[in-house]
Amino acid sequence: MSHFVVLTLVALLSLSSLDAVQRPPNVQVYTRYPAENGKPNFLNCYVSGFHPPQITIDLYKNGEKITEKVERSDLAFSKDWSFYLLVHTEFTPNDNDAYTCHVEHVTLKKPKIVKWGGCLCRDVLLGGFDSACWVVSAYLGTTIVSASFPCFSFSILGFLPGRRPQSSFLGPVRLVRLSVPLIPGCVWIESRREAGTWRAAGPPA
């Protein structure tokens, strides 16, 4: 009986200590698919690593809160007991509209505002432009190394032996892209299944 009481007290103390822990949220804003002007897409705001779980997350377009067709995932927690949540909405990218994610949490003195910057860029062998940024690439054996501006991300692309493409858009190429960002929001690991088709990993879609 005394052993049970001790275990109960330890459990209660552990829960109370968890309630006392406060962790600020990490915020990532990105699209489900590579962004192209005029093509419907989904805007995601992924908030993670925060505690306690009470949090407010809103998406804004040109400074006005988006209230229609906004969906939220169920609140979930990681092994370290921090929480994460995904908020997303349908939208059509263009050069005139600005999208932001506003996050309010007890650990923040003021709302954290993260702007979507259209970081996803198409890769071409020598260079190109894709509404968001310039991409300059070099072909080295079985690897394509590229840098993009103004996204300021560095990419290394490798593809399976025997699948060397004449360009990034020709043929059923299988390759993996790892982008290392120099600014937040541009982290992407992408797998091209066939020409013109990308699937993003990392933050939830």
Residues 58 and 92 in one domain: yes
pLDDT at 14 over 80: no
Identify any residues that bridge with 59 across adjacent strands, giving them in sequence order.
101
Bond before 203 cis per omega within 30 degrees: no
Q: In this predicted structure, what is the pLDDT of residue 99?
A: 96
> End of a domain among 65, 85, 115?
115
Residues 34 and 81 in one domain: yes
Query: Residue 109 belongs to a domain with what CATH number?
Result: 2.60.40.10
Strand ranges (DSSP E) for the chain? 26-31, 41-50, 56-61, 64-65, 70-72, 76-77, 83-91, 99-104, 112-115, 128-129, 134-140, 143-149, 153-159, 175-181, 188-194, 197-201
Let me know: does 162 contact 173? Beta carbons within 8 Å: no
pLDDT in tens, 68-81: 999 999 999 899 98
19 falls within a domain: no
- Residue-range definition of the domain harbouring residue 143: 128-201
pTM: 0.54
Taking the C-alpha atoms of residue 75 and residue 25, their distance in angstroms, rounded to an integer, is: 13
Which of residues 150 and 109 earns the better pLDDT score? 109
State the amino acid at position 129 in one-letter form: F
79 falls within a domain: yes
Secondary structure percentages of the chain, helix, strand, coil, to 5: 10, 45, 45
- 8-state DSSP, 169: T
pLDDT in tens, 129-141: 333 444 444 444 4
Q: In this predicted structure, what is the pLDDT of residue 95?
A: 87
- 8-state DSSP, 51: B
Residues 45 and 106 in one domain: yes
5 falls within a domain: no
> In the structure, what pLDDT confidence band is assigned to residue 163 with cuts at 50, 70 and 90?
very low
